[in-house]
Amino acid sequence: MTTAPLETYTLREGYGTPLVLLHGFPLDHRMWADVAAALPGEPTVVAVDLPGLGASPLTGKPPSIEASADATAAALTAAGITRAVVAGLSMGGYVALALAERHASLVAGLGLVDTKSTADTDDARANRLRIADEAERSQTVDAVLGMPGAMLGETSKAARKPLTARVEEWIRGQRPDGVAWSQRAMASRPDRTHVLEGFAGPVAVVVGEEDVITPVGEAEHMAAAAASAQLVQVPGVGHLSAVEDPAAVADALADVLARAAV
Ligand code: MLT
């Protein structure tokens, strides 16, 4: 079965190794707008809507992070991108690691933002499958509407109040079948710490100090696995560091771009 390609968005036109940005769940490329704007220099920045989220179709394949990575690689090839620094937040990080494993020649450097290389616990997997079933049964995204409460850090919820409504609005626009597919894809993913152990390019591991979904310990685990990783802990932000403190995340990703260029 042939399906339409994933949507890609050129957020900046510039020079050198492009930066590809992969969003978290259940969001889309819009979460990267402020990071793209804050990047120093003149990089090319391309964001992707992952399968079934934003404006992208489902892949026509059973849910898996591998299918998501393959569809992302195909979309980037179609956009003329053969080598890039790939940065992903949370679910986007799972896809970035799968890209580094399955499409190694594409990945010049990695930005792993509020994500983890480990697989789900049995409880987390069961919870994802429950949410997927609920999204399908109700044909709504109600089951994930409360996520901003856990995604945003305590400091942001108190001091950057408009962010909660902004993230909720992004979630309300998603498709129930995309939410279900993504949850099942994440539930089936394996541990990919070995990918970092074998990755020779530059890596930034970025984590909000108030992240309760993929906490600092997960970031430390990834940074210890990769030979050339820099660990950046961002104070005063939670799981959505790229939305809560885009300048800090932009600085960390600019550093990977600079190291990838050498
Ligand atoms: C995300 O932000 O992409 C999700 O929290 C990822 C997850 O549920 O593991």
Look at strands 15-22 and 229-234 and give their pairing: unpaired
For residue 247, what are the contacts with CB-CB under 8 A and spacing of at least 6?
38
Which residues are near ligand 1 (CB < 6 Å)? 24-25, 90-91, 186, 213, 239
pLDDT value of position 1: 52
Mean pLDDT by 10 residues, the chain (262 residues): 84 96 98 98 97 96 98 97 98 98 98 98 97 98 96 97 96 98 98 97 98 98 96 98 98 97 78
Give the nearest ligand 1 atom to 114 CA. 2
- Bin 244: left if φ > 0, else alpha if -120 < ψ < 50, else beta: alpha
Place of tokens 């856990």: 150
Helical (H) or strand (E) element with 258: helix 246-261
CA of 169 to the centre of ligand 1 (A): 17
- CA nearest neighbour of 7 among 69, 68, 54, 77: 54
Quote the CA–CA distance of 245 and 243 in Å, as a whole number: 6
Q: How confident is the model at residue 131, as a pLDDT?
A: 98
At 2 the pLDDT is: 55
ipTM, 2 dp: 0.94
- Number of the ligand 1 atom closest to the C-alpha atom of 92: 3
- Cβ distance 207 to 214 under 8 Å? yes
Out of 89, 97, 147, 186, mutate this one to test ligand 1's pocket (max ligand atoms within 8 Å of CB): namely: 186
The per-residue pLDDT for 3 is 75
Nearest to 19 by CA among 261, 253, 259: 253
pLDDT at 262: 72
24 CA closest ligand 1 atom index: 3
Cα–ligand 1 centroid distance for 90 (angstroms) = 5
Q: Domains along the chain?
A: 8-119+190-261 (3.40.50.1820)
Given the CA of residue 150, which atom of ligand 1 is nearest to it? Answer: 5
26 preceded by a cis bond (ω within 30 of 0) = yes
Closest to 75 measured CA to CA, from 98, 50, 111, 52 = 50
